[in-house]
C-alpha cells in the first residue's frame, strides 16, 4: 500500500469505529489493527480517541 491508500484505510476504519463501537470491542479493534500493522493501529486509536474527545465537547 502506498501512503494515500494507508490514509484512506485509516480514515475508513476510524469512521466506522467512531460510529458507536464501545468497550470491550473498541480495545479489541485497536489490538487487531496493531497486530496487522503497528503504525496503522496507532493511527486508528489516535483518530478514534480524537473523535470521542470532539464529541464530548
pLDDT of residue 55: 86
pLDDT digit string (tens) for 4-44?
999 999 999 999 999 999 999 999 999 999 999 999 999 99
pLDDT of residue 28: 98
Residue 6 CA to residue 20 CA, distance in Å, equals 23
Please give, one letter per residue, the 3-state secondary structure of 16-55: HHCCCCCCCHHHHHHHHHHHHCHHHHHHHHHHHHHHHHHH
Has residue 3 got a pLDDT over 90?
yes
Domain extent listing, the chain? 3-9+20-56
Has residue 57 got a pLDDT over 90?
no
Has residue 56 got a pLDDT over 90?
no
Amino acid at each position: 500500500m502506498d501512503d494515500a491508500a494507508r490514509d484512506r484505510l485509516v480514515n475508513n476504519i476510524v469512521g466506522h469505529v467512531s460510529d458507536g463501537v464501545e468497550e470491550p470491542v473498541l480495545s479489541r479493534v485497536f489490538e487487531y489493527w496493531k497486530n496487522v500493522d503497528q503504525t496503522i493501529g496507532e493511527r486508528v486509536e489516535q483518530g478514534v480517541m480524537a473523535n470521542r474527545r470532539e464529541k464530548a465537547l
